[in-house]
């Protein structure tokens, strides 16, 4: 196992509860403000994809590390394609909301922290993307479900890219610790918004056993 693989497992282990809840059915309820229907699901997805595109585009524009700049630019291009695909299914919808996760990401300027936070963002987004796929499967819309599965496949590619980048930018244990902290910060930002949204809907963010 490489140092980057070990770092990834550390992030997963330290944020197991948050990632589990972000992957629950309540995640979609939170993202749509309690309106689990096709258009609200698509709007929430468009908001997330648009924010990701702009975040990683901004990172690429001011990143000094060549490999990181290329990785961020490639990720931005994928997220732009995702957004444009979802936007085609909506009639004139213009994203106005920046998720808390991306507010956190946009505050990062250090390459190591950005790379770690990218890992955290992917882990959090992968969980919520699975819920969107599940929604469209349940809605008997296999074409759209398949589309979002492809988005999930892109996230898997992004995770591999980010893990490779960690190997390049983390030169010592201090860097690895900072990367883990930034990854956890990204997951916590997504989780905090999840909790706030559910509490605003008078829903319990914790699973019912």
Please write the tens of the pLDDT for every residue from 127-146.
888 899 999 998 888 898 99
Residue 19 to residue 21: CA distance in whole angstroms:
5
Domains of the chain, CATH where assigned: 3-200 (1.20.910.10)
Reply yes or no on whether the pLDDT at 208 is more than 50.
Answer: no
DSSP secondary structure letter of residue 1: -
Reply yes or no on whether the pLDDT at 83 is more than 60.
Answer: yes
Q: Which of 104, 106, 88 is nearest to 45 (CA)?
A: 88
Residue 114 to residue 107: CA distance in whole angstroms:
9
**For residue 27, what pLDDT is reported?**
92
Express each pLDDT in 145-204 by its tens digit: 998 899 889 999 999 999 999 999 999 999 999 999 999 999 999 999 999 999 999 988
Predicted confidence band at 209 (pLDDT cuts at 50, 70, 90)? very low
Q: Tokens at residue 148, please?
A: 């979002």
Express each pLDDT in 34-72 by its tens digit: 999 999 999 999 999 999 999 999 999 999 999 999 999
**For residue 1, what pLDDT is reported?**
53
Q: Which of 120, 110, 106, 98 is nearest to 188 (CA)?
A: 120
**For residue 115, what pLDDT is reported?**
97
**For residue 207, what pLDDT is reported?**
62
Is the CB of residue 27 less than 8 Å from the CB of residue 127? yes
Q: From the CB of residue 101, how many other CB atoms can be counted at a distance below 10 Å?
A: 27
Continuous H helices in 88-172? 100-106, 111-138, 142-169
Gyration radius of the chain's alpha carbons: 17
Phi-psi region of 80 (alpha: psi -120 to 50; beta: other; left: phi over 0): alpha
Distances (CA, A) of 37 to 6, 30, 61, 148, 203: 39, 12, 36, 16, 18
Chain centroid to CA 51: 10
Express each pLDDT in 92-107 by its tens digit: 888 988 999 999 999 9
**For residue 121, what pLDDT is reported?**
97
Residue 114 to residue 64: CA distance in whole angstroms:
12
Reply yes or no on whether the pLDDT at 20 is more than 50.
Answer: yes
Express each pLDDT in 106-131 by its tens digit: 999 999 999 999 999 999 999 888 89
């Amino acid at each position: 196992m490489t140092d980057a693989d070990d770092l990834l497992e550390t992030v997963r282990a330290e944020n197991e509860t948050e990632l589990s809840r972000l992957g629950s059915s309540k995640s979609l309820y939170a993202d749509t403000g309690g309106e689990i229907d096709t258009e609200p699901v698509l709007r929430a997805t468009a908001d997330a994809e648009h924010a990701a595109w702009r975040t990683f585009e901004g990172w690429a524009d001011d990143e000094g590390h060549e490999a990181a700049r290329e990785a961020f630019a490639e990720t931005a291009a994928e997220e732009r394609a995702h957004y444009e695909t979802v936007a085609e299914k909506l009639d004139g919808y213009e994203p106005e909301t920046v998720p808390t996760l991306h507010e956190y990401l946009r505050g990062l300027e250090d390459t190591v922290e950005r790379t770690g936070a990218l890992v955290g963002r992917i882990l959090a987004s992968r969980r919520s993307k699975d819920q969107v796929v599940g929604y469209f499967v349940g809605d008997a819309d296999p074409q759209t479900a398949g589309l979002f599965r492809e988005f999930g496949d892109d996230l898997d590619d992004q995770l591999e890219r980010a893990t490779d980048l960690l190997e390049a930018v983390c030169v010592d244990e201090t860097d690895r610790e900072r990367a883990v902290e930034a990854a956890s910060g990204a997951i916590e930002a997504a989780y905090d918004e999840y909790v706030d949204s559910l509490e605003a809907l008078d829903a319990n963010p914790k699973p019912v056993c």
